[in-house]
């Protein structure tokens, strides 16, 4: 039955049709990839943890006024979300230097930026998701001017809200990636997932990495990092 309903399969999730054309079912996988799919693996328990963590964060952001696609939690690895058209743009917000910006600009890992740095990437596997600017987004027709403004504004608001949420749990939000979708009415909604796959989380006290960099860089204790983020958010008590 699942096979007939499958709409799309990505690296970390599968999207299925439901009886309601405006709602799809997302099933989170344990599969993990890095470096545009070059490195492949599996992180046991990741699907369930990311499903729970992402549901928790979207509910939190929704209560704080961020329009989003999340509808409801369905089962340990599944959630229902609004059927949206994903804009082919990844929006990254950085508070401190890590990952690609360290290499690109020759920075010191961990160095703070005076204000958040917003970046746009073209979601295109064949091109390896290149960094682009707002003029590129416009001429490639990836989003309208209004959508570009909306994405930037929402990304900065998510940064403020998520930084505040995580610091209460003793976690520093280093950077993260967002994706946006457009619903049937043309409304811009925060979409995809927000999880240790898509954020860099460092323990505030020790600086320990509690995210997918443990997989990307073979640091070990990968499952533990995802579990730790879920525990800090309140764990099983929430869902
Ligand atoms: P980067 O430093 O590799 O550019 O990553 C910036 C942030 O975006 C980091 O929190 C990880 C996240 N990210 C994704 O969610 N998906 C991706 O494909 C990449 C490259 C990064
Ligand atoms: N998930 C991405 C990929 O495999 C990369 C990453 O998260 O580092 O393309």
Co-location of 187 and 77 in the same domain:
no
Pocket test for ligand 2, best of 37, 102, 124, 126 (most atoms within 8 A of CB): 37
Q: Pick from 22, 49, 82: which residue ends a domain?
A: 82
Co-location of 98 and 204 in the same domain:
yes
Co-location of 76 and 10 in the same domain:
yes
Query: 166-182, pLDDT tens digit by residue?
Result: 999 999 999 999 999 99
Asked if the model's pLDDT at residue 98 lies above 80, the reply is: yes
In a domain, 230, yes or no: no
Per-residue pLDDT at 3: 66
- For the Cβ of 179 lying below 6 angstroms from any atom of ligand 1, the answer is no
CATH number at residue 73: 3.30.200.20
Specify burial of residue 129 (Cβ count, 10 A radius: 0-12, 13-18, 19+). middle
Query: 45-72, pLDDT tens digit by residue?
Result: 999 999 999 999 999 999 999 999 999 9
Determine the distance separating the centroid of ligand 1 and the alpha carbon of 206, expressed in angstroms.
22
In a domain, 108, yes or no: yes
Smallest Cα–Cα separation from 44: which of 32, 61, 53, 35?
32
| Helix (H) or strand (E) segment spanning residue 4 | helix 2-5
Per-residue pLDDT at 4: 78
In a domain, 78, yes or no: yes
Co-location of 170 and 195 in the same domain:
yes
Return d(Cα 116, Cα 150) in angstroms, integer. Answer: 16
In a domain, 236, yes or no: no
In a domain, 92, yes or no: yes
Q: What's the total number of domains in the chain?
A: 2
pLDDT band at 2 (very low <50, low <70, confident <90, very high): confident
In a domain, 70, yes or no: yes
Atom of ligand 2 nearest to the CA of 198: 7
Any residues with CB less than 8 A from the CB of 35 and at least 6 apart, and which?
216
Q: Are 9 and 25 in contact, with CB atoms under 8 Å apart?
A: no
Per-residue pLDDT at 162: 98
Domain of residue 42 covers: 2-82
Query: 145-156, pLDDT tens digit by residue?
Result: 999 999 999 999
Co-location of 64 and 6 in the same domain:
yes
Place of tokens 């990437």: 121
Nearest ligand by distance to the CA of 216: 2
Q: Pick from 82, 112, 130: which residue ends a domain?
A: 82
Q: DSSP label at 99? A: T
- For the Cβ of 200 lying below 6 angstroms from any atom of ligand 1, the answer is yes
Co-location of 206 and 119 in the same domain:
yes
Co-location of 78 and 24 in the same domain:
yes
Compute the Cα dihedral for 104, 107, 110, 111 and give only its sign.
negative
Q: Pick from 54, 82, 110: which residue ends a domain?
A: 82
Specify burial of residue 218 (Cβ count, 10 A radius: 0-12, 13-18, 19+). exposed
Query: 15-39, pLDDT tens digit by residue?
Result: 999 999 999 999 999 999 999 999 9
Return d(Cα 105, Cα 97) in angstroms, integer. Answer: 10
Asked if the model's pLDDT at residue 239 lies above 60, the reply is: no
Co-location of 91 and 189 in the same domain:
yes
In a domain, 228, yes or no: no
Co-location of 145 and 35 in the same domain:
no
CATH number at residue 180: 3.30.470.20
In a domain, 35, yes or no: yes
Q: Whole-number mean pLDDT of the chain?
A: 97
Co-location of 118 and 67 in the same domain:
no
**How confident is the model over 2-12, as a mean pLDDT?**
90
């Amino acid at each position: 039955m699942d096979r007939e309903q499958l709409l799309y399969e990505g690296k970390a999730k599968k999207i299925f049709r439901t009886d309601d054309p405006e709602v799809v079912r997302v099933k989170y996988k344990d599969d993990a990839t890095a470096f545009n799919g070059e490195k492949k693996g599996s992180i046991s328990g990741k699907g369930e943890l990311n499903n729970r963590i992402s549901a928790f964060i979207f509910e939190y952001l929704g209560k704080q006024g961020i329009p989003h696609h999340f509808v409801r939690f369905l089962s340990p690895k599944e959630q229902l979300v609004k059927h949206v058209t994903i804009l082919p743009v990844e929006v990254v917000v950085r508070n401190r230097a890590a990952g690609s910006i360290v290499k690109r600009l020759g920075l010191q890992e961990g160095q703070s930026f005076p204000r958040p740095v917003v970046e746009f990437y073209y979601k295109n596997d064949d091109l390896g998701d290149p960094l682009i600017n707002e003029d590129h987004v416009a001429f490639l027709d990836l989003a309208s001017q209004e959508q570009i403004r909306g994405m930037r504004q929402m990304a900065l608001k998510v940064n403020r809200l998520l930084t505040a949420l995580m610091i209460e749990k003793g976690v520093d939000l280093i950077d993260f990636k967002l994706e946006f979708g457009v619903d049937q009415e043309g409304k811009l909604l925060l979409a995809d997932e927000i999880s240790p796959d898509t954020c860099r989380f460092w323990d505030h006290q020790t600086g320990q990495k509690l995210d997918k960099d443990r997989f990307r860089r073979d640091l070990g204790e990968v499952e533990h990092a995802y579990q730790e983020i879920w525990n800090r958010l309140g764990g099983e008590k929430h869902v």
